[in-house]
Structure 1
């Protein structure tokens, strides 16, 4: 005897009904119940329109989106001034290609170090509003690289985008992917290896909701999956040698049960990427825009 999910018909009807509403319609404008099938169908439509294939280079992607544009970089210090001398420091890469680039951070010492190096930077806490940045806007691009997982006020970034983005501007948010195989593998086992300053990990549906609550729209969402180097006899030999030496662990963490010992964090998927695992990359990139910018 064939069993049928009694809600399947409701979900099918909701999926068809969702197509009657304009793109970007807020679910709460249609129903007060966030579990209503029509609410879920509208959210699914937003995500389906936003999802993109992975990119291979986070820094290069952000750099390209900022090229020749007026940019605001939030949290540009990136923890400490020592990173500023690295070629992989995000703000340095952005400032080199942008038409103009203003950095803002809450760390006075870091901002002073940036200014000493010739970068335009101000100390300001955006949770208190745009403050001195209002007269500097609007901006074509607002960048929040590896930041949202650290902040207590999640709405701060979205309020800033509402206040300071140009009509056709965009906010780029990069953040760890909570669904990355390595992160899920460690999480199921209670292992500790994340940055100790992380408060939460953002996920696509939640980012779509935050955007909509601030009259914005999640326009694009994708992960970063570095291109795999070609397999050669030399690369295989190096891998075997590292395994024999016990130096093959890429990520190390701590167990939280039994003896507190260091442990290897497994990478998870090893098969070639497919449409089903577009989201296996360890970093998510979210692109937030004003709804009018997509029309």
Structure 2
């Protein structure tokens, strides 16, 4: 949905209503864990994992390290990270990690079925360029899967009300569904879905249209 084709006013109440209807139409609810869902989608496919290192090498020793779990199921996996020393070490261990700024205009020479942005959007200064980089490396019918924290998650609201810090020190932004839609418009691609993974049962079944029970938003972008 490109609101600029419908109005010149970014606060137009009629467009807000239409946008809400559109977002509800592409919203899906998953009852399984995010990683289980992700691994099921990428199994047997080619995948580019942006932000593969996840902070430092200590994270790569954990069973939950995403890149290793992706490698176990993908037919081909390439990682991207700007952390040079960890990337070099991981390459010695048999991984394929490219040292690259994923907001640059660089092209790695291959296109993939999936590009995974696991908690990366909120770290970068230019999310539009990040999405352009991702789309550049995506096959025609591929998907960019971007997970990012939900500012409206009930635990975040509760902690904020208690004046407690709950933000990773490197985070510089939050991205709600309307913001994801705008990023897609500026990057000249499409927000084709957004997925929620509700917690706090049974409340999600009582308020099925509310997003306050999902800790993260997962946005799926595709070619326009």
Aligned twin of 2:129: 156
Confirm whether residue 117 of structure 1 aligns to residue 93 of structure 2. Answer: yes
Correspondence for 1:78: 54
CA offsets, 1:217-241, max 9 Å, x none? 2222122235xxxxxxxxxxxxxxx
- The root-mean-square deviation of aligned C-alpha atoms, in Å, is 1.8
Contact 1:66 1:98 in 2 (8 A): yes
Contact (CA 8 Å) 1:55, 1:61: kept in 2 or not? no
Q: 1:42, CA displacement in angstroms?
A: 3.5
Match of 1:61 in 2: 37
User: What is the CA–CA distance in structure 2 between the aligned matches of 1:184 and 1:68, rounded to whole Å?
Assistant: 39
Give the equivalent residue in structure 1 for 2:114. 141
Higher strand share: 2
- Compute the displacement of 1:277 (Å): 3.6
Q: With structure 2 as the length reference, what TM-score do the two structures score? A: 0.91
Which digits, 9 at most, give the CA deviation of each residue in 1:259-279, with x for residues without a partner?
A: xxxxxxxxxx66442214454
**What SS is found at the alignment partner of 2:131?**
helix
Aligned partners of 2:222, 2:21: CA distance in 1, in Å? 16
Contact 2:116 2:146 in 1 (8 A): yes
Separation (CA, whole Å) in 2 of partners of 1:273 and 1:44: 19
| TM-score when normalising by structure 1 | 0.70
Aligned partners of 2:112 and 2:138 also within 8 Å: yes
Could you list the structure 1 runs, at least 4 aligned residues long, displaced by more than 3 angstroms after superposition.
269-272, 276-279
Q: Deviations over 1:34-64 (max 9, x none)?
A: 1223422342233012111134311111111
**Structure 2 unpaired stretches of 5+:** none
Quote the offset at 1:212 in angstroms.
1.6
For this pair of structures, how many residues does the alignment match?
222
Whether contact under 8 Å (1:54, 1:278) holds in the other structure is: no
Hey, what does 1:166 align to over in structure 2?
A: 139
Whether contact under 8 Å (2:145, 2:221) holds in the other structure is: yes
| Structure 1 residue 283: Cα displacement | 1.7
Deviations 1:48-104 (A, max 9, x none): 121111343111111111111111110100001111122211111111111111101
Q: Deviations over 1:192-214 (max 9, x none)?
A: 13221111121111011111222
Residue pair 1:55, 1:222 contacting (<8 A) in 2 also:
no
Instruction: Please say which structure displays the higher CA radius of gyration.
Output: 1
Q: What residue in structure 2 maps to residue 273 of structure 1?
A: 204
Q: Distance in 1 between matches of 2:60 and 2:144?
A: 23
* Runs (5+) with no aligned partner, structure 1: 1-23, 227-268
Which of 176, 181, 198 is the aligned partner of 1:225?
Answer: 198
Equivalent in the alignment of 2:82: 106
Which residue in the other structure is 2:222 paired with?
A: 289
Q: For 1:115 and 1:104, locate their aligned partners in 2 and report how far apart those are by CA, in whole Å.
A: 11
Contact 2:152 2:211 (8 Å CA) reproduced: no
CA contact (8 A) 1:77 1:111 kept: yes
Asked if the contact 1:175–1:283 (Cα under 8 Å) also holds between the matched residues in 2, the reply is yes
- Contact 1:159–1:214 (8 Å) recurs in 2: yes
